[in-house]
């Protein structure tokens, strides 16, 4: 029997979730959700580097069996692929989604319905892929979904290019952080994702994530409940950067 209570449920019961939603909504009026610091008014449909305005876009969602075993189990990880990205690596395996923006514009209520559907089909967690630029919409969806019984861990599956301020607002919301740490060298990150500051930003972000959730914790079935999973992408011809 699963006795783990996700952080976002506790946050909602304490009134923290609604406060965080208000904070993020205010930030969107001069958007600094990510390190790009575009400062566009996304509530007025202005778009910055992530090419996303007021509403989130979702490319697809499913029970995904290609993630880490601690997330997949026997029923899969409930993966939601958000369109667009704040990093836009030129080698992205999901280039059509992250750079070309393939997907459908969705209301917050639709994201909540997706979360509940993934839980209903047995997924062990809600796995948010490329969530950095749409955290306000995600939290609004969570607020709705909890009222309808959402109660599985929340995975923040990101590039590591995160704003510390955004992460600190997300404290006590995210159960599992799963960043992909890509580059150690500024010159390499500048070439591949137009972000020379990636190594510096990502190191600080991973530390903040760990400070919030600590080591990975699993239940008796071996499924992750909370903690940090760091993945590293080895770049071809750049083993020195690993």
Domains of the chain are 7-233 (3.20.20)
> Residues of the chain with pLDDT > 70: what percent?
97
- Helices H, strands E: what count in the chain? 9, 9
Residue ranges in the chain modelled with pLDDT below 50:
1
- Beta-strand pair 176-181/231-232: parallel
- pLDDT at position 242 is 61
With tokens 């969530």, the residue in question is 131
Burial class (CB in 10 A: 0-12, 13-18, 19+), 101: middle
Q: What φ, ψ does residue 102 adopt, rounded to 5°? A: -60, 130
Res 99: pLDDT: 80
Give the per-residue pLDDT at 233: 79
Q: What pLDDT sits at residue 101?
A: 77
Q: Is-contact 118 63, C-beta < 8 A?
A: yes
């Amino acid at each position: 029997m699963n006795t783990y209570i996700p952080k976002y449920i506790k946050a909602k019961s304490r009134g923290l979730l609604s406060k965080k939603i208000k904070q993020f909504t205010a930030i969107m009026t001069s958007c600094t959700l990510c390190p790009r610091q575009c400062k566009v008014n996304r509530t007025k449909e202005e778009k910055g580097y992530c090419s996303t305005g007021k509403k989130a876009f979702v490319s697809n969602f499913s029970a995904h069996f290609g993630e880490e075993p601690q997330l997949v189990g026997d029923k899969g990880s409930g993966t939601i692929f958000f369109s667009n990205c704040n990093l836009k690596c030129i080698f992205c395996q999901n280039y059509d989604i992250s750079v070309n923006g393939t997907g459908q514009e969705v209301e917050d209520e639709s994201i909540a319905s997706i979360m509940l559907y993934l839980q209903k089909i047995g997924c062990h967690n809600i796995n948010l892929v490329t969530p950095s630029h749409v955290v306000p919409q995600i939290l609004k969806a969570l607020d709705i979904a909890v009222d309808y019984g959402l109660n599985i861990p929340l995975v923040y599956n990101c590039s590591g290019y995160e704003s510390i301020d955004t992460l600190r607002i997300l404290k006590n919301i995210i159960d599992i952080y799963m960043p992909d740490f890509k580059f150690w060298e500024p010159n390499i990150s500048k070439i591949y994702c137009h972000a020379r500051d990636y190594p510096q930003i990502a190191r600080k972000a991973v530390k903040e994530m760990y400070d919030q959730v600590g080591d990975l914790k699993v239940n008796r079935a071996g499924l992750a409940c909370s903690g940090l999973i760091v993945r590293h992408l080895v770049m071809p011809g750049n083993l020195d950067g690993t």
